[in-house]
Amino acid sequence: MRYVRLDTPKPISKIGLGTWQFGSKEWGYGPEYERRAAEIVRRALDLGVTLFDTAELYGFGRSERILGAALGDDRAKVVVASKIFPLLPVAPVVQQRAVASAARLGVDGIDLYQVHQANPVVADTTTMRGMRSLQDVGLVGEVGVSNYGLRRWRFAEAALGRRVLSNQVRYSMIDRGPEEDLIPYAEQAGRIVIAYSPLAQGFLSGRYDATNPPAGAVRRANPYFLPENLERGAELIATLREVADAHDATPSQIALAYVLRHPNVVAIPGASGVEQMERNAAAAEIDLTDDEYAALVAAARAFRPVTGLAAVPRMVRARLGK
């Protein structure tokens, strides 16, 4: 495993584990998955993974409970990251919610406590007052944000008066927005971009095609899995396979290596089984050549999925099986 080269109280592994899947029926993994989730966590620990990401929202607290129980006594050795869903993120609410998350996780302190998304009405001055007091009493280690633009990330730092260590955003080969400003900022300022959906929810695994879309409500709502987009992605998947063959790896591993190429980026793929966790951890060791990277960038740029409003009627038709 590789770790981010930054001064943090505990090392942060380049591959972490995302746990939205834990306790969330919307992924369609069924009741058996709860046992598998614990096995995934234990295997991740064996493989040197130190970053475990959850949120109070995932399974309405079930993800935090499953993760905390699976980590057991190892909780203190790793970076446990959770998120507050900022419905009314005024200071006393932030404090109460952190206490509740810590209790579900079974920890004395949350190593990284993130604001799940920017609140359009409540300013970060208010939210960060709560975060600062949590840090002062030791219930929270580092503060992070999620789905923030650069301006608001920096504003949040000014409001906290301390570093806001990380910004967790959607980042993969086919969602490259963070390359414009967030990643350069992280590199210059010693911060971290945490890439969520780094496999585009499995789209980049090459496992799915128009005749074989994934199950579950989460991915039914993701336009990348429209039959038309799965077809349009064939060239990109072919390029991933080609690069993967040269490394004796899989397309998913190459997709992860693509985002991990930036020193201040870590990725937190979710996993439906232990074997995926193993492969994802191994991806941290893959070094892409400049030529391979250029080929991946070109293939990703050539992929033009139908998204936004144009995707809506198609998603309705797909839902109705038409």
Ligand X SMILES: NC(=O)c1ccc[n+]([C@@H]2O[C@H](COP(=O)([O-])OP(=O)(O)OC[C@H]3O[C@@H](n4cnc5c(N)ncnc54)[C@H](OP(=O)(O)O)[C@@H]3O)[C@@H](O)[C@H]2O)c1
Residues that bind ligand X (CB under 6 A): 18-21, 53, 116, 146-147, 168, 196-202, 205, 207, 214, 250, 252, 268-272, 276, 279-280
Quick check: helix, strand or coil at residue 136?
helix
Question: Is 58 noted as a catalytic residue in this protein?
Answer: yes
Closer residue to ligand X in complex, CB, 86/269: 269
Q: Give the phi and the psi of residue 59 in degrees, each rounded to 5.
A: 60, 25
Buried b / exposed e along 278-313 (16+ C-beta atoms within 10 A) = bbbbbbbebebeeebeebbeebbeebebbeeeebee
Closest residue to ligand X in the complex (CB): 18
> At its nearest, how many Å lie between ligand X and the CB of residue 86?
12
Helix residue ranges per DSSP H, the chain: 33-46, 62-71, 91-105, 124-136, 150-160, 182-189, 217-220, 227-232, 234-246, 251-260, 274-283, 290-302, 311-319
Task: Tell the smallest beta-carbon distance from residue 168 to ligand X (Å).
Answer: 5
Minimal distance, residue 136 CB to ligand X, in Å:
25
Q: How far is CA 63 from CA 23, 70, 74, 284, 290, in A?
A: 5, 11, 17, 25, 39
* Closest CB 88 distance from ligand X, rounded Å: 18
Find, among 243, 154, 146, the residue nearest to 197 by Cα: 146
Looking at the Cβ atoms of 55 and 299, the one nearer to ligand X is: 55
Residue 292 has which token pair?
A: 């391979």
| Catalytic-role residue among 29, 33, 58, 171 | 58
* Residue with tokens 């009627």, as numbered in its chain: 313
Q: For ligand X, which is the closer residue by CB, 133 or 223?
A: 223
For the CB of residue 272, give the shortest distance to ligand X in the complex, in Å. Answer: 4
Of the pair 118, 268, the CB lying nearest ligand X is at 268
Spatial contact of 256 and 283, defined as CB atoms under 8 Å apart: yes
Q: Which is nearer to ligand X, 119 or 133 (by Cβ)? A: 119
- Residues with catalytic annotation? 58
